[in-house]
Amino acid sequence: MPVPVQRDPERTRRALAAWLTARAPEAGTVDVGPVRVPGTAGFSGEILLCDAAWADGSVDPLAVRVAPTGHRVHPDDRWTEQVRLHEILTGTRIRVAPLLGHEPDASVLGAPFLVMRRVEGRVPADLPSYHREGWLAELPPRRRRAVWLGGVETLAAIHHLDPLTAGLGFLGQPVTAHGTGGTDGDRLTGQLADYAARLPFYGAERNEVAAAALGWLRDRLPGKPGEPGEPGEPGPTRLLWGDARIGNIVYAGETPAAVLDWEMAGLGEPESDLAWFLHLDRHLSEGIGAPRLPGLPDRAETVAYYEELTGRRVGRLEYYEVYAAFRFCVFTARVTRLLTETGILPRALDFPLHRNATRLLSRVLAEHGIRHTTG
């Protein structure tokens, strides 16, 4: 479900035309066509689509990403980091949309924004789930498999990037009252404490399943005796995509053409991304009661292919799968609250997103023998 246009489309069109013209006055006056929102965008940020016609007759399809304001899913404003990361990734093997410019001044559109050349292709949809309908469901199993493996290849390519060499140290966790540190256990300690403190912000403070998961995650931090998970090497600190899933990839055919949405990017163990990649697909199938599409590799094959691509054995994945299920449950509580508070979703209309996420989290906990009560 995309975030709706939060400003007048005609005024936005004129503002973008003036902004583009001012950035390259030697190119002449730029005309911008109607502004619209994509049908497959997520709720974490506002995306605007339009076409820019230049004085020389050329036309650029554009995607404008606007910093979240009233529809902010996450409590921290990391917009500057996102823009900087996009600029850095443009010079790497990671496929991102070409960045034409960014504007930190909120007076132009009401919030900072960046302008990208739109990458043409198709994105697997969340709503309705790509497991139920859409272009991916219409492909034969062999081609679906190629789409999935392309997503795993994208994830491995991101994790091959050396954060130190690429200058990504600014993505490290900020110093907070909850502490930080160089190891993943230290990072997770701070992150879990922040989630605990911010449960009221998300609207999950009364969710007993989330509370049980949080307690288990604290008790089983990586490095503690008796930590769960398959044997394997501790993952190196790497760039984390954050919202790692095939629904954040633009595909040209079955080949990834661009990676989208770096709002949750950070540094940490790559297992965190891999677990999120697996869990979000599980949510869009089992989590909503839909059969998983034939042809898509299962968990074991996905992990094996990822290990082949990265050249190391995955470790502690079970821990990060619980962490992914917990975070998704918490985020869906916030999304559901925003949908109702902003009037996008009538309060009388049942929207099962958070309920489904909680039910799947409960199932994940049960698989790991984690007991919890439901009030």
Could you tell me the residue ranges of all domains in the chain? 9-117, 135-367
Distances (CA, A) of 7 to 62, 146, 190, 232, 325: 18, 39, 37, 50, 34
Average pLDDT score over residue span 51-63: 94
Burial group, residue 5, by CB count within 10 angstroms (0-12, 13-18, 19+): middle
Using CA atoms in the order 93, 99, 101, 105, what is the torsion angle rounded to 10 degrees?
-90
CA 280, 282, 285, 288 dihedral sign is: negative
pLDDT at 200 over 70: yes
pLDDT single digits (tens) 335-364: 988 887 666 655 545 679 999 999 999 999
Upstream peptide bond of 128 is cis (omega within 30 degrees of 0):
yes
CB 212 within 8 A of CB 245: no
Pairwise CA distance, residues 224 & 249, whole Å: 36
pLDDT at 330 over 90: yes
pLDDT at 177 over 50: no
CB 65 within 8 A of CB 49: no
Q: Which residue has the higher pLDDT, 286 or 39?
A: 286
What is the pLDDT, as a whole number, of residue 39?
64
Q: Which residue has the higher pLDDT, 41 or 361?
A: 361
What is the pLDDT, as a whole number, of residue 348?
46
- Enclosing H/E stretch for 252: strand 249-252
What is the pLDDT, as a whole number, of residue 224?
59
What is the pLDDT, as a whole number, of residue 252?
97
Least confident of 19-33, 259-273, 292-306: 19-33
What is the pLDDT, as a whole number, of residue 70?
67
Mean pLDDT over each residue of the chain, to the nearest integer: 88
pTM: 0.90
Q: Which residue has the higher pLDDT, 72 or 107?
A: 107
**3-state secondary structure (DSSP) of residue 281:** helix
Homologous superfamily (CATH) of 9-117 is: Phosphorylase Kinase; domain 1 (3.30.200.20)
Longest dimension (CA), the chain: 66
Q: How far is CA 359 from the centre of its chain?
A: 21
What contacts 111, CB < 8 A, 6 or more positions away? 46, 66, 67, 68, 69
Average pLDDT score over residue span 322-345: 86
Instruction: Kindly indicate the confidence band of residue 72, based on its pLDDT and cuts at 50, 70 and 90.
Output: confident
Start-end of H helices in the chain: 9-23, 79-89, 135-138, 141-160, 163-166, 184-202, 208-219, 271-283, 299-310, 317-341, 353-367
Q: Which residue has the higher pLDDT, 345 or 172?
A: 172
Instruction: Kindly indicate the confidence band of residue 174, based on its pLDDT and cuts at 50, 70 and 90.
Output: very low
Q: In sequence order, what DSSP letters do the residues of 305-360 get, joined into one string?
A: HHHHHHTS---SHHHHHHHHHHHHHHHHHHHHHHHHHTTSS-TTS---HHHHHHHH
| 255-259 vs 249-252, strand pairing mode | antiparallel
What is the pLDDT, as a whole number, of residue 328?
98
pLDDT at 5 over 60: no
What is the pLDDT, as a whole number, of residue 226?
52
Q: Which residue has the higher pLDDT, 46 or 100?
A: 100
Angle at the Cα of 342 (from 340 to 348), degrees rounded to 5? 30
Average pLDDT score over residue span 3-30: 84
What is the pLDDT, as a whole number, of residue 227?
52
pLDDT single digits (tens) 122-133: 999 998 999 999
Within 13 A of 31's CA, how many CA atoms are on the CB side? 7
What is the architecture of the domain spanning 135-367? Alpha-Beta Complex (3.90)
**3-state secondary structure (DSSP) of residue 196:** helix
Pairwise CA distance, residues 285 & 279, whole Å: 10
pLDDT single digits (tens) 206-239: 999 999 999 999 999 876 555 544 545 556 889 9
Average pLDDT score over residue span 77-87: 92
Q: Which residue has the higher pLDDT, 177 or 23?
A: 23
